[in-house]
Structure formats: C-alpha cells, structure tokens
C-alpha cells in the first residue's frame, strides 16, 4: 500500500467520523469510554513511559475532574453563591475550570511530596494518595458519600447539546486527538528532549542545564490535568458520579493500558485503552457463561493475560504493530527539520586565552574514613588543554564531580568564571559555560545522535511547553537542530546523525558526548576518558578536534589513561595519587618527575612507555 502511517491515521479518523452516526448506541458508548481512558493513558505515557515515573494514582485525578463539575452543577450552595441569572448551561464549564484548578493545586502538592521519593517508593507513594483521595470522595457528605451525586446536566455549547454518546463521543475523541497532537509536538521539541532526558538520569539531565525536579513536577501536573479533563467529560457522559471508578483498581488499569499499548508511545495509549476495554467487555460476557456461575472471573483472566503480554512484549504492543505495518506502509518522509528560517541562538563570548576559567582551591572530599581528594589545587585556563592523570583510584572522577556540580566538596572552593560554585547544582555550572562528557557514556540510546546532541543546546533555547505544544517553537527548533548537526559534522560523525545513539560503537558514542557538550557552546570542556575505545585513526581525529577547539579559545580538561594521547596533546598536566596532587607541569616536566615515575611504575607502565 502506498500510503504513510500518518495518512492511514487520518483516513481512519475520517472513516470513523463518517460512520459514527450509523453505529449502534452501545458501540458509541464503548467508543466514548475508550476515548476517555485513552486520554488518561496518554498522560501516563508521558509520565511513566517517557518521564520514567510510575503512578498508580491517576484515577484519583480523574475523580477530581468529575467531582468538581458534579458539585458545581448540583450544589445548592454554588447556585446561591452565583449571581442571579447566571446561565445554568455554563455551570459545566465552571466545573471544568474548578476541576482543572483543584487538580493543578493537588498535583503540585502531591508531586512536590512524592516525586522526591526514588525507586519503589514513588509508586508506593502514588498508591497511598490514590487510596486517600478515593476515601475522601466516599466520606464527604457534600459529595454524596459512597452513593455519589446524580442529576448532572448534559454539556451544552450555545444551542448545541451533547447529551448522548452520539454527540459527546465526537467531543471526547476531538479532545483526545487534540491532546495527542499537542503531546506529540511537545515531545518533538527542545522541552520534549529535556523530558526524555529525565530517563537518562538526574546527573546527565542536570549537566545539560535541565532543572530535573521542576520538569518532573510539570510532567506530573500535565498527566494529572489530562486525567481531570477526562473526568470532566466522563461525568457529563454518565450524568452521575460515585467513587467506584476512581479507586486504586482503576488506577492500576490505566497504568496497564499505557504499558500494554506501549508506555513510550502516545498512540500506544489509544491501543491500550481499546484493547483493555474491549477485552474486559468480552470477558465479562463470556466467562460467566463458560463457567456457569457469575463472579468477577474476568479480573483473574485479565491479570494472567497481562503477565503474558508484559513478558512477551516488554515495550508494549504499539512498537510491534508499527514494525509489522512498516512492511506495507510507505515511510513518512516529512522533514524532521522544520522548513522555517532559524532564529539566531544565544552566543557566548569566550574569555581571552590565558584567563583562568575554572579553579579549585584546597578541594577535599571525604567518604567516611577515606580521603578521596586531599586539598587539590588546579586551574584551567582558556585556550589550553589540561590533563588530569593518576593511577586507578587516585581520585580523578571524584575531583571531576566536585568541579562540575555533581558532588559537593567536604572543604575547599570551586570557582567557575570567577563565581564561587561549590554546592551549586550542575545546571548552574552548565549555565556559566561548563560542558562535560561522562566516563560511563550517558546517552539516550533509542534516540538519534542528532537528538542527543541537540539536548546539549537545551539552555540556548527559550521556548516553553505551551509554545512547543502549539508548534510556535519551530524557528528556534530549526536553529537548535542546525547547531546540533554542525557540531556532529565537526566531530566527524555527519553520516551517523540520524542513527540511534545505541547503534554506534562505544568510542563513537564518546564522541557524540563531546558534540553534545559543544552544542551548549561551553567555555570550559571537561572530558572524562575521551579516547577510551577509539581506534588509532579515531584518536588522531579526536586530537585534531581538541587542538582546534583549544585554538578557538576553549579550556579543556581531560582525564585520560592513554599516555601517548595525553603527552602529545596537553599543555599542562596535573598528577594525582591517593587523592593528592603529586606533580604539575608541562608533559616534559611531569615525565621527568621521579615521584610520578614512581607512582606509575608502581601501578602501570603506561607513562614509562610514553616517556621512552
């Protein structure tokens, strides 16, 4: 078939719209529910699949959206409080506003409390507040207790009334498609890259200038608002609310939908909602007949099926469907890079060569009884390559962490561009012009080299979430992507820009990290073992690149074990042993230093080899 997946989606939507009026009432109701569930699951795809935070409590936010409008529409207190003559038809819209506001407040609060938890504690935390909110619904008399609230009005807009699934269904699906479009845009932007970076670990994301705590809360609030929106529509579809659909079981079901569909894929949310709703429907129908007695058997079968799916398709079903359909669908050839005139990105003026840009004064770091760094003094100047060497366990990585904001010195001072920095987060180091790579490569393996490198330019963009969702960020995005491509080409990886980062050899991935750091236009570049895993020719190319960067005025600090590489490239070398500086000087001075030779001949013969 010669159509693309995008065209197929549009055709599917058009076909559904055409036959909608002909479908039986029951089908329309089921379809409407699928739309509502998919809206919640889409939020979970963002939160769990993309952002890496698992929540079992989304049903509670659906409840907030539903109860807010139910209360506004039926409470005599609200009716008395509103000005006389306030049109009743507007009450659901007031309910929507209230629901979103309350959800925003509750999610911000719960997010700031729970998102600090790590590992298993975060999902456990979501179960805790999911349960609490459910019992609040059930125990508040003003919300009708466990019986709930009945008599909700239908949604109306002017003379249009959306009283039945025939009319409300298209609204639900319209809202869902709009949300998917906005979320898709968000993911395909500077902010989306920052959201994806959350999964790459706090250290990496913060080094790119991303305020991870802030992004986690924003993502949590976004998912909660989508759930509340679904709850609002749900309430006006059902026309009554009670606590049952908002309990923790349903919260788990929402999570299943996202995971079964494919937690990393927005359309996976729709697929998951569709499959689970239909499956539940069928099982509820067939199992009692098959077993000859009534009971909630479907939950047992459901649980078993879930285990099989999660075992066999850990990434969910959507990527499988994609893979399978790729055989007969034409690849989508829309340009990844938008065709607008790029803006000019913020530029940094580099300090003049020879100026001290990074400095440590008597930096020490203690781990219990171990002194991993002992009063280390070091300076990095603009326009030089400074190497930090020392035997294994000498404290190089520890020092690297101190001067990049990953860890805080026990004592001593770190200055970057003259500013006192110890104790500040790495994103503030990034803001002042520090770029870095990692000893253990930290890339988003499934994303392209281009996207990984573009993340490095995060701080140079300005457009926020709303602008990204509405696609108002395209000129800036074009500039960021162009900058990323320029850095990739400069690092000699031009042919690999569109490949997933994980498909590159480890040495090349290290170079991708250098390109990513360069995209942030740093003044100081910290490279942790950049030559490890590179072949001879690649090392030569890397040396040429670093030489060029030095001549452009960057200050480069390298931790490296390859002595030949270091001796040929570095202007100055600092040697660490047992956490303390034992020598500092030019390569020739260091190679002639008896303490250094001693330290190295004791552990490794690299230096002697390079010196010979």
When the beta carbons of 161 and 439 are compared against ligand ATP, the nearer one is 439
When the beta carbons of 288 and 533 are compared against ligand ATP, the nearer one is 533
Contact pick of 293, 335, 349, 392 for ligand ATP (by CB under 6 A):
392
Residue with tokens 């207190």: 77
Does residue number 398 form part of the binding site for ligand ATP (CB under 6 A)? yes
Sign of the alpha-carbon dihedral angle for 531, 535, 540, 546: negative
Does residue number 171 form part of the binding site for ligand ATP (CB under 6 A)? no
H or E segment at 556? strand 555-559
Question: What distance lies between CA 494 and its chain's CA centroid?
Answer: 26
Contacts of 201 (CB under 8 A, 6+ apart): 442
Q: What are phi and psi of 363, to 5 degrees?
A: -75, 120
When the beta carbons of 229 and 372 are compared against ligand ATP, the nearer one is 372
Residues forming a β-bridge with 330: 4
When the beta carbons of 165 and 395 are compared against ligand ATP, the nearer one is 395
For 602, counting Cβ atoms within 10 Å of its Cβ (0-12 exposed, 13-18 middle, 19+ buried), the class is exposed
The minimum distance between CB 395 and ligand ATP, in angstroms, equals 4
The minimum distance between CB 368 and ligand ATP, in angstroms, equals 7
Sign of the alpha-carbon dihedral angle for 532, 533, 537, 541: negative
Does residue number 409 form part of the binding site for ligand ATP (CB under 6 A)? no
When the beta carbons of 38 and 559 are compared against ligand ATP, the nearer one is 559
If you count DSSP H runs as helices and E runs as strands, how many of each does the chain have, helices first?
25, 12
When the beta carbons of 194 and 414 are compared against ligand ATP, the nearer one is 414
Give the helix ranges, DSSP H, for 439-585: 449-455, 465-469, 474-490, 506-519, 536-552, 563-569
Taking CB under 6 A as the criterion, which residues in 281-310 touch ligand ATP?
Answer: none
The minimum distance between CB 383 and ligand ATP, in angstroms, equals 26
The minimum distance between CB 399 and ligand ATP, in angstroms, equals 7
Q: Give the Å distances, CA to CA, from 385 to 197, 249, 516.
A: 29, 59, 19
When the beta carbons of 210 and 380 are compared against ligand ATP, the nearer one is 380
The minimum distance between CB 595 and ligand ATP, in angstroms, equals 17
Does residue number 393 form part of the binding site for ligand ATP (CB under 6 A)? yes
When the beta carbons of 121 and 367 are compared against ligand ATP, the nearer one is 367
Structure tokens at 170: 């298209």
Structure tokens at 73: 């529409």
When the beta carbons of 325 and 377 are compared against ligand ATP, the nearer one is 377
Half-sphere exposure of 82 (CA within 13 A, CB side): 16
Does residue number 575 form part of the binding site for ligand ATP (CB under 6 A)? no
When the beta carbons of 365 and 458 are compared against ligand ATP, the nearer one is 365
- Quote the CA–CA distance of 406 and 207 in Å, as a whole number: 8
Q: Quote the DSSP letter at residue 53.
A: -
Q: How many CB atoms lie within 10 A of CB 119?
A: 7
When the beta carbons of 115 and 402 are compared against ligand ATP, the nearer one is 402
Q: How many CB atoms lie within 10 A of CB 129?
A: 19
The minimum distance between CB 526 and ligand ATP, in angstroms, equals 13
The minimum distance between CB 176 and ligand ATP, in angstroms, equals 46
Contact by Cβ (8 Å): 361, 377: yes
Strand, coil or helix: what is 575? strand
- How many chain residues are in contact with ligand ATP, going by CB under 6 A? 11
Contact by Cβ (8 Å): 527, 437: yes
The minimum distance between CB 408 and ligand ATP, in angstroms, equals 12
Q: Quote the DSSP letter at residue 499.
A: S
Question: Given the rule CB under 6 A, which of 28-36, 164-172, 244-252, 367-375 is the region that contacts ligand ATP?
Answer: 367-375
For helices 5-19 and 318-325, angle between their N-to-C axes, nearest 10 degrees = 110
When the beta carbons of 366 and 415 are compared against ligand ATP, the nearer one is 366
Question: Given the rule CB under 6 A, which of 305-313, 364-372, 500-508, 538-546 is the region that contacts ligand ATP?
Answer: 364-372
Does residue number 394 form part of the binding site for ligand ATP (CB under 6 A)? yes
Does residue number 209 form part of the binding site for ligand ATP (CB under 6 A)? no
Sign of the alpha-carbon dihedral angle for 190, 196, 198, 203: negative
Q: What would the x/- binding string for ligand ATP be over residues 371 to 390, using CB under 6 A?
A: -x-----------------x
Sign of the alpha-carbon dihedral angle for 42, 191, 97, 52: positive
Question: Given the rule CB under 6 A, which of 155-163, 392-400, 513-521, 535-543 is the region that contacts ligand ATP?
Answer: 392-400
The minimum distance between CB 400 and ligand ATP, in angstroms, equals 7
Question: Given the rule CB under 6 A, which of 193-201, 395-403, 419-427, 474-482 is the region that contacts ligand ATP?
Answer: 395-403
- Quote the CA–CA distance of 91 and 106 in Å, as a whole number: 22
Structure tokens at 537: 């020719």
Question: Given the rule CB under 6 A, which of 38-46, 79-87, 365-373, 588-596 is the region that contacts ligand ATP?
Answer: 365-373
- Quote the CA–CA distance of 196 and 102 in Å, as a whole number: 27
Question: Given the rule CB under 6 A, which of 91-99, 396-404, 454-462, 486-494 is the region that contacts ligand ATP?
Answer: 396-404
Question: Given the rule CB under 6 A, which of 218-226, 366-374, 420-428, 493-501 is the region that contacts ligand ATP?
Answer: 366-374
The minimum distance between CB 588 and ligand ATP, in angstroms, equals 23
Does residue number 603 form part of the binding site for ligand ATP (CB under 6 A)? no
Contact pick of 43, 57, 243, 395 for ligand ATP (by CB under 6 A):
395
When the beta carbons of 397 and 422 are compared against ligand ATP, the nearer one is 397
When the beta carbons of 349 and 392 are compared against ligand ATP, the nearer one is 392
Q: How many CB atoms lie within 10 A of CB 550?
A: 20
Contact pick of 367, 470, 586, 588 for ligand ATP (by CB under 6 A):
367
Contact by Cβ (8 Å): 563, 606: yes
Residues forming a β-bridge with 419: 416
Contact pick of 218, 396, 427, 550 for ligand ATP (by CB under 6 A):
396
The minimum distance between CB 443 and ligand ATP, in angstroms, equals 19
Q: Among 197, 257, 108, 203, which Cα is nearest to 453's? A: 197
Contact pick of 370, 470, 588, 592 for ligand ATP (by CB under 6 A):
370
Contact by Cβ (8 Å): 253, 246: no
Does residue number 397 form part of the binding site for ligand ATP (CB under 6 A)? yes
Residues that bind ligand ATP (CB under 6 A): 367, 370, 372, 390, 392-398
């Amino acid at each position: 078939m010669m159509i693309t997946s995008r065209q197929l989606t549009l055709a599917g939507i058009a076909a559904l719209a055409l036959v909608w009026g002909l479908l039986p009432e029951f089908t329309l109701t089921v379809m409407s529910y699928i739309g509502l569930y998919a809206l919640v699951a889409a939020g979970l795809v963002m939160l769990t699949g993309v952002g890496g935070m698992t929540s079992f409590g989304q049903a509670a936010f659906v409840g907030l959206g539903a109860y807010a409008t139910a209360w506004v529409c039926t409470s005599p207190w609200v009716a008395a409080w509103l000005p006389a003559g306030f049109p009743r038809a507007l009450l659901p819209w007031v309910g929507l506003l209230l629901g979103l506001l309350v959800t925003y407040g509750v999610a911000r609060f719960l997010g700031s409390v729970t998102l600090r938890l790590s590992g298993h504690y975060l999902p456990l935390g979501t179960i805790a507040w999911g349960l609490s909110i459910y019992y609040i619904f059930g125990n508040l008399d003003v919300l009708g207790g466990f019986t709930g609230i009945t008599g909700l009005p239908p949604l109306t807009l002017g003379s249009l009334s959306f009283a039945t699934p025939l009319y409300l269904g298209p609204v639900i699906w319209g809202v869902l498609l709009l949300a998917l479009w906005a979320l898709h845009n968000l993911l395909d932007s500077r902010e989306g890259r920052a959201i994806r970076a959350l999964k790459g670990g706090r250290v990496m994301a913060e080094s790119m200038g991303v305020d991870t705590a802030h992004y986690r809360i924003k993502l949590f609030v976004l998912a909660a608002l989508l759930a509340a929106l679904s709850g609002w529509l749900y309430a006006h579809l059902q026309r009554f609310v009670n606590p049952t659909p908002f309990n923790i079981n349903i919260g788990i079901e929402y999570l299943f939908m996202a995971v079964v569909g494919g937690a990393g894929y927005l359309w996976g949310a729709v697929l998951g909602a569709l499959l689970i709703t239909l499956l539940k429907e069928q099982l509820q129908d067939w199992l009692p007949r098959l077993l000859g007695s009534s009971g909630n058997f479907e939950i047992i079968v459901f649980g078993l099926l879930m285990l099989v799916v999660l075992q066999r398709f850990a990434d969910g079903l959507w990527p499988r469907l994609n893979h399978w359909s790729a055989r007969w669908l034409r690849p989508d050839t829309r340009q990844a890079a938008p065709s607008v005139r790029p803006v000019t990105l913020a530029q940094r003026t580099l300090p003049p060569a020879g100026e001290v840009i990074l400095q440590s004064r008597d930096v020490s770091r203690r781990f219990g009884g171990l002194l991993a760094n002992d009063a280390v003094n070091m300076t990095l100047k603009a326009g030089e390559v400074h190497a930090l060497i020392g035997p294994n366990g000498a404290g190089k990585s520890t020092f690297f962490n101190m001067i990049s904001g990953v860890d805080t010195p026990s004592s001593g001072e770190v200055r970057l561009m003259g500013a006192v920095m110890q104790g500040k987060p790495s994103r503030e180091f990034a803001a002042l012009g520090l770029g870095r790579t990692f000893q253990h490569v930290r890339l988003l393996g499934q994303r392209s080299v281009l996207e990984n490198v573009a993340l490095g330019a995060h701080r140079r963009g300005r457009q926020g979430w709303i602008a990204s969702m509405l696609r108002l960020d395209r000129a800036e995005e074009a500039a960021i992507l162009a900058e990323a491509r320029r850095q990739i080409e400069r690092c000699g990886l031009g042919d690999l820009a569109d490949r997933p980062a994980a498909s590159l050899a480890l040495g090349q991935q290290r170079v991708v990290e250098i390109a990513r750091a360069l995209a942030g236009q740093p003044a100081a570049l910290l490279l942790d073992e950049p030559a490890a895993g590179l072949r001879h020719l690649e090392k030569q190319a890397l040396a040429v690149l670093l030489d060029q960067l030095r001549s452009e005025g960057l200050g480069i600090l390298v931790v490296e074990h390859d002595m030949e590489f270091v001796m040929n490239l570095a202007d100055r070398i600092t040697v660490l042993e047992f956490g303390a500086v034992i020598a500092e000087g030019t390569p020739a001075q260091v190679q002639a230093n008896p303490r250094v030779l001693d330290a190295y001949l004791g552990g490794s013969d690299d230096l002697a080899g390079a010196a010979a």
